[in-house]
Amino acid sequence: MANSGLLDCIERYHAAAPLPDGRIETVGGLEVPVVAPAWPYPARPRPGGGAVTVDDVRAAIALQEESGLPIALEWIWERSAGTAAAARGAGLTVEYMPLLVLADPVELLLPLGVRLYLVGAEDPQLPRYQRLVELAFATPHGGAATATAVEERVEAGPRTEVLRERIATGRTVMMVAVEDGEPVAVGSHHPLDVDGREVSEITGVATLPRLRGRGLGAGLTSALAEHARETADLVFLTAGDDDVARVYERVGCAWIGTTGVADLPVG
């Protein structure tokens, strides 16, 4: 499938993903999922909806604020390049991230002594795995880790219950890497039927910051990709930056586009 067809499929995936969780409000050239705050989705350009304007973005922000949702806008740059200017005009900060698809899967093994598990819906450690993701994404690559391990006792929150339901119904597949009884890396993929084809997005691949550079993220992504490809025709992901994209290329992913992300400025 040519890149344009892949991008079409990914756009349809993003349009369909929020439907079981709430309603979609159309705001000019944008679609805003109005769902429970525990599992939010960003606003996105409406396929075939024309150019996104500053007023569209402002209206989407107002709707997200009214609904108690985080301010978030995402788009595929190759399909809606002008959205970046509209987002900036509405006062949002814009970033660009590599968009990749799984092309030629490569099996990468985890380091010796690290075991990989599929996470069940009733796993009592699920809040710890979510905490690991928070710690990892709070510490940029190359930054100093303030936490060296995940706390043993982490209370479940509303997002934990949503995740349990998603795992139980097969909407989310989560894997955790464990070393010496401690969770050290985690990641997920999210299968979805898109016009009769299964498509899955890999998200939330996170390694405990002090253990980066050991191949945990690459090995875990390889395992997630292998699992997803058992049933999915298309597997894709968005990398945090070019360096992370190169890690994903090691497991057989190909860079096909760019994801634009806009949210409120920090501070």
Domain count, the chain: 2
3-51 residue pLDDT tens: 789 999 999 999 999 999 999 999 999 999 999 999 999 999 998 888 9
213 pLDDT more than 90: no
**CATH code assigned at 193:** 3.40.630.30
Domain annotation covers residue 267: no
Number of CB atoms found within 10 A of residue 142's CB: 8
Looking at the structure, tell me whether residues 35 and 86 fall in a common domain: yes
The pLDDT value recorded for residue 188 is 98
The pLDDT value recorded for residue 235 is 97
At 36, which amino acid appears?
Answer: A
Question: 33, 68, 98: which is the final residue of a domain?
Answer: 98
142 pLDDT more than 60: no
Looking at the structure, tell me whether residues 120 and 240 fall in a common domain: yes
110-136 residue pLDDT tens: 889 999 999 999 999 999 999 999 988
3-state secondary structure of 234: strand
Show the domain range for 195. Answer: 114-251
With 0-12 / 13-18 / 19 or more C-beta atoms within 10 angstroms meaning exposed / middle / buried, residue 128 is: buried
At 217, which amino acid appears?
Answer: G
Domain annotation covers residue 108: no
Looking at the structure, tell me whether residues 138 and 196 fall in a common domain: yes
% of the chain exceeding 90 in pLDDT: 79
Number of CB atoms found within 10 A of residue 63's CB: 17
3-state secondary structure of 225: helix
Looking at the structure, tell me whether residues 226 and 132 fall in a common domain: yes
Domain annotation covers residue 264: no
The pLDDT value recorded for residue 2 is 61
pTM: 0.93
Domain annotation covers residue 166: yes
Residue in the structure block whose two tokens are 């989407």: 60
Distance CA 159, CA 141 (A): 25
153 pLDDT more than 70: yes
Looking at the structure, tell me whether residues 121 and 241 fall in a common domain: yes
Domain annotation covers residue 147: yes
Question: 67, 98, 129: which is the final residue of a domain?
Answer: 98
The pLDDT value recorded for residue 156 is 77
Looking at the structure, tell me whether residues 145 and 236 fall in a common domain: yes
Strands, sheet with 234-238, edge to edge from the N-terminal-most edge strand: 72-76, 253-263, 93-102, 234-238, 197-207, 182-194, 173-179, 114-118
Per the CB < 8 A criterion, the answer to whether 226 and 108 are in contact is no
The pLDDT value recorded for residue 148 is 64
Looking at the structure, tell me whether residues 174 and 53 fall in a common domain: no
36-89 residue pLDDT tens: 999 999 999 998 888 999 999 999 999 999 999 999 999 999 999 999 999 999
Looking at the structure, tell me whether residues 239 and 139 fall in a common domain: yes
Q: What residues form DSSP beta bridges with 199? A: 192, 234
Looking at the structure, tell me whether residues 155 and 210 fall in a common domain: yes
Per the CB < 8 A criterion, the answer to whether 158 and 191 are in contact is no
The pLDDT value recorded for residue 147 is 58
Looking at the structure, tell me whether residues 151 and 247 fall in a common domain: yes
The pLDDT value recorded for residue 266 is 75
* pLDDT higher at 148 or 174: 174
Per the CB < 8 A criterion, the answer to whether 183 and 129 are in contact is yes
Domain annotation covers residue 180: yes
Looking at the structure, tell me whether residues 183 and 222 fall in a common domain: yes
Looking at the structure, tell me whether residues 118 and 243 fall in a common domain: yes
Domain annotation covers residue 133: yes
Question: 98, 123, 150: which is the final residue of a domain?
Answer: 98
Domain annotation covers residue 258: no
The pLDDT value recorded for residue 50 is 86
The pLDDT value recorded for residue 146 is 56
